[in-house]
């Protein structure tokens, strides 16, 4: 359930209250006439079940509330109310599977910023994976996958492609391209530094690495894993099942592939660098494709659910 706070301008307040009153998924409605000061208007509070939230937010925006007023929403962790239970029963679908598109857009939009924190995290993750590649240590590879922040821009790219948000698409692509290029360049430098300190060597890269050599040898299963990870990652994001997202991050070789490109480039092992680059490209494309298709299916399903509700 979401708690909505709406600042409605005086000329739209009645329409907003009528909308919320007739919506079966809305409950705990309260109206404070003239309570809002910046911007001026009526403060309207209510709770809405997640399966109805997207439709309610869309209709509020159709009334132009966000232009002269404002809409904000928070998750309600616990509700003890017969009225809330009745609203959940009357709304179509399951709250656990419901998608609130404005919430997803806001959440993923934050992940497209090319911030210092993002660059540090992806660089540190790539460096850790680079050491894991040389030592043939899956533990370090897994740790690097968890640290890597690249799924945020990938998810934002999927949402932006579906909603046709050109600016968000450009920011997402920029975060991915600049982030990976910067991380790989710094990993090349760190590999040279570790080699100069006699901590690693080119022979370690050329030695048999049965536990991690899959990173630079892509095959058909690379596409399969990437597609499955994209589906699971998008479902975990839209359904708020964040626990499964960790498993998604561990299942795809994006950061490890970038690290292997950097290490192989540092030592001039070009065939391994090329294989790792192909692995990275396959995983990125597969995740975006699967994530976008997952969103399309979810959007279609909820559209049909609303049509069934309207027909009923």
**The predicted structure's pLDDT at residue 241:** 57
**Domain boundaries of the chain, sorted by first residue:** 2-97, 104-301
Task: State residue 104 phi and psi, 5-degree precision.
Answer: -65, -40
DSSP 221-237: HHHHHHHHHHHHHHHHH
Phi-psi region of 200 (alpha: psi -120 to 50; beta: other; left: phi over 0): beta
Report the CATH architecture of 2-97.
2-Layer Sandwich (3.30)
What are the pLDDT tens digits along the chain (312 aa)?
899 999 999 888 999 999 999 888 899 999 999 898 888 999 999 999 888 888 899 889 989 898 889 999 888 888 888 888 888 877 766 666 677 878 887 777 777 788 899 999 999 999 999 999 999 998 999 889 888 888 889 988 998 898 888 888 999 999 999 999 999 999 999 999 999 999 999 999 999 988 888 889 888 888 998 898 888 888 877 776 554 455 556 556 799 999 999 999 999 999 999 999 999 999 999 999 999 999 998 888 777 766 766 565
Task: Give the number of other Cβ atoms within 10 Å of residue 221's Cβ.
Answer: 9
**The predicted structure's pLDDT at residue 46:** 93
pTM over 0.85: no
């Amino acid at each position: 359930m979401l708690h909505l706070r709406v600042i409605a301008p005086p000329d739209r307040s009645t329409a907003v209250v009528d909308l919320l009153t007739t919506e079966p998924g809305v409950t705990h409605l309260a109206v404070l006439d003239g309570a809002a000061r910046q911007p001026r208007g009526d403060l309207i509070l209510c709770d809405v079940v997640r399966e109805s939230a997207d439709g309610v937010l869309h209709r509020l925006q159709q009334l132009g509330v966000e232009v002269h007023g404002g809409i904000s929403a928070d998750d309600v962790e616990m509700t003890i109310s017969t009225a809330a239970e009745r609203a959940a029963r009357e709304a179509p679908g399951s709250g656990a599977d419901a998608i609130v598109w404005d919430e997803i857009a806001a959440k993923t939009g934050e992940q497209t910023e090319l911030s210092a924190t993002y660059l540090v995290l992806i660089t540190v993750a790539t460096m850790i994976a680079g050491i894991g590649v040389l030592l043939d240590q899956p533990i370090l590879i897994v740790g690097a996958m968890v640290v890597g922040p690249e799924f945020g821009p990938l998810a934002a790219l999927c949402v932006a492609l579906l909603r046709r948000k050109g600016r968000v698409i450009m920011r997402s692509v920029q975060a991915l391209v600049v982030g990976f290029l910067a991380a790989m360049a710094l990993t090349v430098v760190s590999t040279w530094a570790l080699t100069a300190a006699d901590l690693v060597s080119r022979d370690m890269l050329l030695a048999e690495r049965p536990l991690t050599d899959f990173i630079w040898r892509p095959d058909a299963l690379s596409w399969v894993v990437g597609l499955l990870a994209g589906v699971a990652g998008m479902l975990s994001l839209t359904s708020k099942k964040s626990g499964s997202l960790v498993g998604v991050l561990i299942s795809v070789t994006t950061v490890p592939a970038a690290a292997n490109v950097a290490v192989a480039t540092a030592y001039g092992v070009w065939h391994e660098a090329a294989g790792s680059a192909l692995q990275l490209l396959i995983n990125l494309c597969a995740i975006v494709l699967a994530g976008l298709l997952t969103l399309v299916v979810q959007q279609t399903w909820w559209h049909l659910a609303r049509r069934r509700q309207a027909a009923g």
